[in-house]
Chains A and B, each alone.
Chain A
Amino acid sequence: MQHAELTSGPEQGTESSMRILVIEDDREAASWLVKGLRESGHIVDLATEGLQGLTMALEGVHDVCIIDRMLPLMDGLTVIQKMRSSDLKTPVLILSALSDVDERVKGLRAGGDDYLAKPYAFAELLARVEGLGSRKLLDPKDAKLKALDLEIDLMSRTVTRGGKPIVLQPREFKLLEYLVRNAGHIVTRTMLLENVWDYHFDPQTNVIDVHVSRLRGKLDKGFAEPLLQTVRGAGYMIRAR
Chain B
Amino acid sequence: MPVNNSIFQTSTFRLAAIYLLVFAASAAGILGYVYYTTVGLLERQTEDTIHAEILGLADQYRLLGVAGLVDTVQRRSRDAGGAIYLLEGPNQARIAGNLDAMPPGVTQNQIWIDFPITVGQEPVAVQHTARGFQVELANGYDLLVGRDVNELRQFRDVIREAIFWAVGMSLVVGLGGGYFMSRNFLRRVDAITGATRLIMAGDLSGRMPVSGANDELDRLSGSLNDMLSQIERLMDGMKEVSSNVAHDLKTPLTRMRARIEDALRQDNALEYKTALDQTIEECDKLLRTFNALLSIAQAESGQMRQGLQPLDLFDTLRDVVELYEPLADEAGGSLKLEARPGLRVRGDRQLLAQVLNNLIDNAMKYGQTSADKPADIEVIGRVDAQTVIIEVADHGIGVNLEDRERVLGRFVRLDESRSKPGNGLGLSLVASVMTLHSGQIQLENNRPGLRVILRLPLYTEAS
Contacts and interface: CB of A to CB of B under 8 A. Distances in A.
Contacts of A211: 323, 326
Interface in B354-382: 354, 357, 361, 364
A67 B112 CA distance: 102
Nearest to B294: A99
A204 B361 contact: yes
B326 A214 contact: yes
A206 B287 contact: no
A67 to B, nearest CB: 22
A207 interface: yes
B324 interface: yes
Contacts of A142: none
B350 interface: yes
B326 A201 contact: no
Contacts of B294: 99
A102 B348 CA distance: 11
Contacts of A210: 326-327, 330
Size range of the interface on A?
20 to 34
A119 B353 CA distance: 23
B288 A207 contact: no
A231 B362 CA distance: 29
Contacts of A26: none
A210 to B, nearest CB: 4
Contact of B323 (A101, A121, A207): A207
A32 interface: no
B421 A204 contact: yes
A205 B294 CA distance: 19
A126 to B, nearest CB: 15
Nearest to A193: B323
B307 interface: yes
Interface in A171-186: 171
B291 interface: yes
A200 B350 contact: yes
A201 B357 contact: yes
A207 to B, nearest CB: 5
A228 to B, nearest CB: 15
Contacts of B287: 119
Contacts of B304: 102
A201 B350 contact: yes
Contacts of A204: 288, 361, 421-422
Interface in A21-66: none
B295 interface: yes
A171 B320 CA distance: 12
Contacts of A199: 323, 350, 353-354, 357
B102 to A, nearest CB: 102
Given A99-B291, A171-B322, A201 B327 contact: no
Given A102-B307, A197-B319, A199-B350, A205 B327 contact: yes
A210 B328 CA distance: 10
A201 B353 contact: yes
Contacts of B319: 197
B298 interface: yes
Interface string A89-113: 0000000000111100000000000
A25 to B, nearest CB: 22
B276 to A, nearest CB: 12
Contact of A205 (B280, B298, B348, B361): B361
Contacts of B280: 121
A214 B322 CA distance: 13
Interface in A209-241: 210-211, 214
A101 B350 contact: yes
B327 A202 contact: no
A211 B291 CA distance: 25
A201 B426 CA distance: 12
Interface in B299-325: 304, 307, 319, 322-324
A165 to B, nearest CB: 22
A201 B354 contact: yes
A207 B327 contact: yes
A140 interface: no
Interface in B43-95: none
Contacts of A119: 287
A197 B323 contact: yes
Nearest to A215: B326
B290 to A, nearest CB: 9
A171 B318 CA distance: 12
A203 B354 CA distance: 7
A100 B298 contact: yes
Interface string B261-298: 00000000000000000001000100110010011001
Contact of A202 (B291, B348, B421, B422): B291
A53 B321 CA distance: 44
Contacts of B326: 207, 210-211, 214
B361 A203 contact: yes
Nearest to A120: B287
Contacts of B327: 205-207, 210
B284 to A, nearest CB: 8
Contacts of B324: 207
Nearest to B348: A101
Contacts of A121: 280, 284
A214 B357 CA distance: 20
Nearest to B285: A204
A179 to B, nearest CB: 17
A202 B287 CA distance: 11
11 contacts: A99-B291, A100-B298, A102-B304, A119-B287, A201-B295, A202-B291, A203-B323, A203-B357, A205-B361, A207-B326, A210-B327
* Nearest 10 pairs of A and B residues by beta carbon: A210-B326, A201-B354, A210-B327, A207-B327, A203-B357, A210-B330, A207-B323, A101-B350, A200-B350, A214-B326
Interface of A: 99-102, 119, 121, 171, 197, 199-207, 210-211, 214
Given A121-B280, A205-B327, A211-B326, 7 more contacts: A171-B322, A197-B323, A200-B350, A201-B354, A204-B288, A204-B361, A204-B422
